[in-house]
Structure 1
Amino acid sequence: MPAQALATLNPETEEQDRRASVINELEEDESVDEVEHSTQRGAPNTGTTPANAAAQPDIGILPSGQTQPSAPDTPVAANVDLNDVVTAPESELLAMQLDTLPMPRPAQPLALLGSEVLPGTSARLAWSPGIQIPGLSQPTPVLAVNGIHAGPTLCLTGAVHGDELNGIEIVRRTIYDLNAEELSGRVIGVPIVNLPGFQQGSRYLPDRRDLNRHFPGSPDGSLADRIAHSLFENVIRHCDMLVDIHTGSLKRTNLPQLRADMNNPDVATFTQGFDRMAVVHSSGSPGMLRSAAVAAGIVAVTLEAGESHRIQEHQIEAGVNSLTSLMEKQGMTSRMFVWGDPEPVYYDSDWIRAQHGGILFSEVDLGAHVSEGEILGYVADPITNAQYPIRANSNGRVIGMAVDQVVMAGFAAYHIGTEAEIPAE
Structure 2
Amino acid sequence: MPLYLANTRESSTNHFSHFPNSSQHSYNGWGTVRSLITATERFMSAPPPSMRYPFRRTTLLIAATLIASLTTVSASATERASDVAPLKVDLPAERKAASDFLGAPIIKGTLDRRAWSAGQPLSGLALPTPVLIASGKEPGPTLCLTGAVHGDELNGVEIIRRIMFALDTENLTGTVIAVPIVNLYGFQRNSRYLPDRRDLNRYFPGNPAGSSAARIAHHFFQDVISHCNALIDIHTGSFHRTNLPQLRADLSNPAVSKLSQLFDNFVVLHSLGTVGTLRRAAVEAGIPTVTLEAGEPLYLQPEEVAQGVRGVLAALHGFGLMGKSSKVASEQKVFYESVWLRADQGGVLFSEVRVGDAVKEGDILGSVTDPITNRSSVVRASASGTIIGMALNQMVMPGFAAYHLGLAKAAGATLQQTAEGAANAALEPVRKAVEEVAKEAAQTASQSGDNPEAVSEAARRAAVEAVVNRELPSSARGEDKSEHELPTPEPDEHPE
Match of 1:152 among 141, 145, 170: 141
Q: Secondary structure at the match of 1:384?
A: coil
Q: Normalization by structure 1: what TM-score?
A: 0.73
Asked whether the equivalents of residues 98 and 142 of structure 2 are also in contact (C-alpha less than 8 Å), the reply is no
Which residue number in structure 1 is paired with residue 215 of structure 2? Answer: 226
- Separation in structure 2 between the aligned mates of residue 420 and residue 394 of structure 1, nearest angstrom: 9
Which residue number in structure 2 is paired with residue 291 of structure 1? Answer: 280
Match for 1:417: what amino acid?
G
Q: Secondary structure at the match of 2:366?
A: strand
Pair 1:370-2:433 in alignment: no
- Separation in structure 1 between the aligned mates of residue 328 and residue 108 of structure 2, nearest angstrom: 29
- Separation in structure 2 between the aligned mates of residue 217 and residue 372 of structure 1, nearest angstrom: 42
Q: Cα deviations across residues 53-75 of structure 1 (Å, max 9, x unaligned)?
A: xxxxxxxxxxxxxxxxxxxxxxx
Which residue number in structure 1 is paired with residue 395 of structure 2? Answer: 406
Structure 2: runs of 5+ lacking an equivalent? 1-95, 411-484, 489-496
Name which one, 1 or 2, has greater alpha-carbon Rg: 1
Q: Secondary structure at the match of 1:156?
A: strand
Q: Cα deviations across residues 240-277 of structure 1 (Å, max 9, x unaligned)?
A: 00011100001000000000111111111111000011
Which residue number in structure 2 is paired with residue 356 of structure 1? Answer: 345
Asked whether the equivalents of residues 328 and 337 of structure 1 are also in contact (C-alpha less than 8 Å), the reply is no
Match for 1:381: what amino acid?
D
- Separation in structure 2 between the aligned mates of residue 207 and residue 108 of structure 1, nearest angstrom: 35
Which residue number in structure 2 is paired with residue 26 of structure 1? Answer: none
- Separation in structure 2 between the aligned mates of residue 131 and residue 317 of structure 1, nearest angstrom: 37
Asked whether the equivalents of residues 263 and 329 of structure 2 are also in contact (C-alpha less than 8 Å), the reply is no
Q: Cα deviations across residues 146-200 of structure 1 (Å, max 9, x unaligned)?
A: 1111111100000000000001111111111111110011100000000010000
Over 3 Å counting, the alpha-carbon distance change for 1:357 and 1:337 in structure 2 is farther
Structure 1: runs of 5+ lacking an equivalent? 1-106
- Separation in structure 1 between the aligned mates of residue 114 and residue 366 of structure 2, nearest angstrom: 47
Over 3 Å counting, the alpha-carbon distance change for 1:109 and 1:232 in structure 2 is closer
C-alpha RMSD of matched pairs (Å) = 1.7
Deviation at 1:137, TM superposition (A): 2.1
Q: Secondary structure at the match of 2:214?
A: helix
Q: How does 1:115-264 map to 2 (within 5 A)?
A: 115-264=104-253
Match for 2:143: what amino acid?
L
Pair 1:424-2:493 in alignment: no
Q: Cα deviations across residues 74-96 of structure 1 (Å, max 9, x unaligned)?
A: xxxxxxxxxxxxxxxxxxxxxxx
Match for 1:424: what amino acid?
P
Q: Cα deviations across residues 264-311 of structure 1 (Å, max 9, x unaligned)?
A: 111111110000111001111111100110111100011100000010
Deviation at 1:338, TM superposition (A): 3.8
Which residue number in structure 2 is paired with residue 343 of structure 1? Answer: 332
Deviation at 1:383, TM superposition (A): 1.4
Which residue number in structure 2 is paired with residue 305 of structure 1? Answer: 294
Over 3 Å counting, the alpha-carbon distance change for 1:339 and 1:386 in structure 2 is farther
Match of 1:273 among 239, 251, 262: 262
Pair 1:331-2:328 in alignment: no
- Separation in structure 2 between the aligned mates of residue 154 and residue 253 of structure 1, nearest angstrom: 27
Asked whether the equivalents of residues 364 and 378 of structure 2 are also in contact (C-alpha less than 8 Å), the reply is yes
- Separation in structure 1 between the aligned mates of residue 374 and residue 296 of structure 2, nearest angstrom: 29
Which residue number in structure 2 is paired with residue 38 of structure 1? Answer: none
Q: Cα deviations across residues 82-130 of structure 1 (Å, max 9, x unaligned)?
A: xxxxxxxxxxxxxxxxxxxxxxxxx987211112121111210000000
Asked whether the equivalents of residues 215 and 292 of structure 1 are also in contact (C-alpha less than 8 Å), the reply is yes
Over 3 Å counting, the alpha-carbon distance change for 1:109 and 1:412 in structure 2 is closer
Asked whether the equivalents of residues 109 and 146 of structure 1 are also in contact (C-alpha less than 8 Å), the reply is no
Moved over 6 A (4+): none
Deviation at 1:386, TM superposition (A): 1.3
Q: Percent identity?
A: 54
Asked whether the equivalents of residues 131 and 227 of structure 1 are also in contact (C-alpha less than 8 Å), the reply is no
- Separation in structure 2 between the aligned mates of residue 393 and residue 176 of structure 1, nearest angstrom: 44
Over 3 Å counting, the alpha-carbon distance change for 1:269 and 1:336 in structure 2 is closer
Higher helix share: 2
Match for 1:349: what amino acid?
S
- Separation in structure 1 between the aligned mates of residue 141 and residue 408 of structure 2, nearest angstrom: 32
- Separation in structure 2 between the aligned mates of residue 215 and residue 290 of structure 1, nearest angstrom: 9
Q: How does 1:32-47 map to 2 (within 5 A)?
A: none
Q: Secondary structure at the match of 2:390?
A: strand
Asked whether the equivalents of residues 344 and 420 of structure 1 are also in contact (C-alpha less than 8 Å), the reply is no
Q: How does 1:4-153 map to 2 (within 5 A)?
A: 110-153=99-142
- Separation in structure 1 between the aligned mates of residue 330 and residue 223 of structure 2, nearest angstrom: 38
Higher strand share: 1
Q: Secondary structure at the match of 2:156?
A: helix
Q: How many residues align?
A: 319
Asked whether the equivalents of residues 110 and 146 of structure 1 are also in contact (C-alpha less than 8 Å), the reply is no
- Separation in structure 1 between the aligned mates of residue 109 and residue 309 of structure 2, nearest angstrom: 22
Over 3 Å counting, the alpha-carbon distance change for 1:177 and 1:316 in structure 2 is same
Which residue number in structure 1 is paired with residue 372 of structure 2? Answer: 383
- Separation in structure 1 between the aligned mates of residue 97 and residue 169 of structure 2, nearest angstrom: 13
- Separation in structure 2 between the aligned mates of residue 241 and residue 415 of structure 1, nearest angstrom: 28
Match for 1:177: what amino acid?
A
Deviation at 1:420, TM superposition (A): 6.5
Asked whether the equivalents of residues 97 and 141 of structure 2 are also in contact (C-alpha less than 8 Å), the reply is no
Deviation at 1:341, TM superposition (A): 2.9
Which residue number in structure 2 is paired with residue 69 of structure 1? Answer: none
Q: Which moved more, 1:119-128 or 1:130-139?
A: 130-139
